[in-house]
Structure 1
Amino acid sequence: MKQQTVPEIELWYAASNGDAMAFGRLFELYFPKLFIFALKYTKDRCQAEDAIQQVFLKCWEKKETLKHINNIASYLHRSVKNELIDLIRRQVLYKKYQQQLCEVQQGVEPSVLQNTELSLRVGREAILSAAINHLSPQQRRVYTLSKERGWSYAKIAQEMEVSMPTVKWHAAAAFQALSRFLKNHESELFLFIFFFSLFF
């Protein structure tokens, strides 16, 4: 792994003291290398980007402890690898529940199945809507422009009159907040599937 430069160390130390601009610069500096590294473990470019954003968000949340990291590059690469492993595990778990749902659906009356699928879809949409409403105004705007309108980060940055790293930061923060909210409420849907399997 390439030895970090003095400016990188200074940025890392400044970030650990709560300097958001320094942290944003670190994100810009390491993202390209981490992205190439992440693609060795996943062919999904969105998944690779999400993993990197998650790692930086977690670093920011525990920024006070970053001063004790000796090799920045090694730490970030290892963290991205671990994050990807967790993402893949969650995907496997999700597919497992999807398979269980398919098994439950077999042999069910079409009308009942249609109503159940509608209920699940409405439930998912309601939970997602609630999650979006819990975002900060800036995060919500970035999410809406990116996911619902399909705007690029460059176009969003121009519209909001902020820098590209700022947009990426809000996008990453929104992703983190949505993930936490959905994770805390995912059991509601799984319980619904469970009780449905008991009665039908």
Structure 2
Amino acid sequence: MDRNTLSDAALWQQVKRGDTASFSCLFDRYWDEMFSMAYRRLADEATAKDFVQNIFIHAWENRRQIAVEDKLSPYLFTALKYSVIRHIYREAKLGITDLPLSVYSLPDETDPKKQDHYEFDRIREKVQLEIASMPEKMREVFTLSYEKELSVREIALRLSISEQTVKNQVHNALKRLRTRLQSQSVFLPFIL
């Protein structure tokens, strides 16, 4: 069987069963294009490679939850876009770079790969609403962890709680988000 002639959907069915050769074929099929897109947006080769590699790792780890009806590219390029936007916002928050006038001013790819920018805002809005509805202590720990990017130790010291309590609260918050945002849960790591 020549995997190079198979469709993404056919390869993904094999990937779901743990076939690493089919996954490798998809990796080879999209690596160059994804790296090129990431590099154009990030202007840093090492960071671009890390982003693309992390997306493929995440795809492998979540292969049973990812549905591929035709092409894998919508998932891959959407995940990459969310990762880049999150990275830009984090760097801007830290004062490393200026925030572009709009993340929508990032260069778009060709028409087949265009993603709806409103989708990102819609999912992010849902995430923010779910975070706001968390119990107060859970929300506080989660916010310090994901928005302020404090370590477990720093959060424990700041809130005068044990490190294990911090870990439990973050774990429970993520579990809650995944459960309540089940249809978007595959993209949560790229949004949070």
TM-score range (shorter-chain normalised) is: 0.3 to 0.5
RCO comparison, higher one (Cα < 8 Å, 6+) = 1
More helix by share: 1
**Which of 1 and 2 has greater Rg?**
1
TM superposition score normalised by structure 1: 0.43
